[in-house]
Structure 1
């Protein structure tokens, strides 16, 4: 039996790969990714605080809008307090909607990652020309606000069409985080050359954990602590990436922010043992490792 498959990357069991270290000899990289999203009013797509697949309403629009009005600022205060660098998966519509956002991220030196125009839509249902337009409009809007184009991409709802990776590479993106397939980066083939997959957790992610599975803020904080402790132990054998995924309208709520802060403080007790970084910096480091180190790097060739 031959199952439907893809031609993007080859099978690779993690124990069989070359070992390497992150900067300063660290074996565990930790990235904190925050999602900044904007939605259509009573239309399109969007999650709900109380039930899955709820119709769009003024109430759930306002619940999500809390993230831009209040939650993000709570989170940035916490990240400043703990001196944690961060990256932000940004809907370009959010930057137009709330003009205070981009200057605040620039002040922190944080990374802007393309996250579509809005999470009211997804790209995997679009024709190729329309999907390219979505990617280009997102890139150009972020460039206008951030002063430089984003190099990384996370699609709304981590959705991909058959040509998403091709379009991203053709429009200048060098890494993406849509595929939660690994705890290490790996290269994927596109018709325009290789693009890097940077680990992005769908498990250690506040939206599916607390919105869809209805875990509490304290349970989510325990997940972070357990994931970090286990990965720190596993990283004695091989380099790993621990990604922590947040949303402004979820953990930006004060009662969830407090246990999250405690979990991050726990991670910081090991600050000298880890590489606390951003996805773009991790992608740059991985790209510059010797060919043959990162799975799929034989595709790089002259693309370095």
Structure 2
């Protein structure tokens, strides 16, 4: 049952939770024989040379990483949102079906990771959004409820086009801490914050740093900012490897050791925000609320 806002200056998470935590698993693939423009390798190849190592490194997510993340989530009984390039579903429909069977959400992330919205005209954006929706319907039987653009590179039109296509939530925001309802010409859309510290921040470094950052952030918010929000994000092709997956398992176990934590899928969070008509908080309301 939805919890109504506690006052005009804020709201209360369901069941009085002190913090809401969402888990974002980015499940990405690149077109053709391409791979990500970065990898664990430190030696760059000559311009124009096919980087087979980067290509195969990127393919790891669909081959193995997504399955390991599913296993860890299931073992910890944690719901998550898999933000997937539509091509990822085509490459491994079995993984997509297992994600849904395990109770996770699958949201849209363009068709491939190199199909960036920032390079497209409005008509091209609309076409690729439709292609993603059609692919989801074919593989999973339903349309995705959420959208996050690759490398968080939308255009000035993307938000409106996502609302026009009937999505529930949209995640391309760099300027918010908490979710809220956005009014568009095509109706309401729920804005969800992303993270500033996904697993790639420790690429070629100590994976333990990723755990420590999230532990410290969680501890600070839990102690100092009631009704806060934390987005834990990692990629199937990097975070799904044992060296990072170990830290993922550790942070889930750590957070689950606390009472009054709402661990929730993006779509369930968005449903709650929309049902309660949550508006954006100003910083004054958040940090200096009016006294009763």
User: Which TM-score tier does this pair reach, normalised by the shorter chain?
Assistant: 0.7 to 0.9
Is residue 2:222 matched to residue 1:232?
yes
More displaced 10-residue stretch of structure 1: 55-64 or 131-140:
55-64
Match of 2:31 in 1: 40
Following the alignment from structure 2 to structure 1, what is the Cα–Cα distance between the partners of residues 56 and 143? 30
Report 1:54-65 matches (<5 A): 57-65=51-59
Following the alignment from structure 2 to structure 1, what is the Cα–Cα distance between the partners of residues 231 and 143? 23
Match of 2:198 in 1: 205
Q: How has the CA–CA distance of structure 1 residues 288 and 164 changed in structure 2, closer, same or farther, with 3 Å as cutoff? A: same
Q: How has the CA–CA distance of structure 1 residues 128 and 44 changed in structure 2, closer, same or farther, with 3 Å as cutoff? A: farther
Match of 2:263 in 1: 276
Q: Give per-residue Cα distances to partners, 1:133-180, cap 9 Å, x unaligned.
A: 011111121122222211110011111111101111111112111113
Following the alignment from structure 1 to structure 2, what is the Cα–Cα distance between the partners of residues 283 and 53? 42
Report 1:23-38 matches (<5 A): 23-38=14-29
Q: How has the CA–CA distance of structure 1 residues 86 and 204 changed in structure 2, closer, same or farther, with 3 Å as cutoff? A: same
Deviation of 1:204 (Å): 2.7
Partner SS, residue 294 of structure 1: coil
Contact 1:251 1:257 in 2 (8 A): yes
> RMSD of aligned C-alpha atoms?
2.1
Is residue 2:235 matched to residue 1:247?
yes
Number of aligned residue pairs: give it: 272
Following the alignment from structure 1 to structure 2, what is the Cα–Cα distance between the partners of residues 249 and 17? 43
Following the alignment from structure 1 to structure 2, what is the Cα–Cα distance between the partners of residues 17 and 204? 31
Following the alignment from structure 1 to structure 2, what is the Cα–Cα distance between the partners of residues 143 and 81? 28
Deviation of 1:47 (Å): 3.3
- Corresponding residue to 2:173 among 176, 179, 185: 179
Match of 2:290 in 1: none
Partner SS, residue 66 of structure 2: helix
- Corresponding residue to 1:127 among 121, 136, 139: 121
Match of 1:194 in 2: 188
Q: Give per-residue Cα distances to partners, 1:164-207, cap 9 Å, x unaligned.
A: 01111111112111113222113334332332211211x23112
Contact 1:217 1:251 in 2 (8 A): no
Q: How has the CA–CA distance of structure 1 residues 43 and 71 changed in structure 2, closer, same or farther, with 3 Å as cutoff? A: closer
Is residue 2:84 matched to residue 1:93?
no
Contact 1:228 1:242 in 2 (8 A): yes
Contact 2:35 2:55 in 1 (8 A): no
- Corresponding residue to 1:170 among 164, 186, 193: 164
User: TM-score under structure 1 normalisation?
Assistant: 0.83
Match of 1:295 in 2: 280
Match of 2:110 in 1: 116
Contact 1:199 1:243 in 2 (8 A): yes
Following the alignment from structure 2 to structure 1, what is the Cα–Cα distance between the partners of residues 136 and 43? 30
Unmatched segments (≥5 aa) in structure 1? 1-15, 297-304
Q: How has the CA–CA distance of structure 1 residues 17 and 117 changed in structure 2, closer, same or farther, with 3 Å as cutoff? A: farther
Q: Give per-residue Cα distances to partners, 1:83-137, cap 9 Å, x unaligned.
A: 1111100111011112222111121121011111000220111111111001111
Following the alignment from structure 1 to structure 2, what is the Cα–Cα distance between the partners of residues 187 and 157? 23
Q: How has the CA–CA distance of structure 1 residues 45 and 265 changed in structure 2, closer, same or farther, with 3 Å as cutoff? A: closer
More displaced 10-residue stretch of structure 1: 73-82 or 54-63:
54-63
User: TM-score under structure 2 normalisation?
Assistant: 0.87
Match of 2:254 in 1: 266
- Corresponding residue to 1:159 among 153, 158, 173: 153
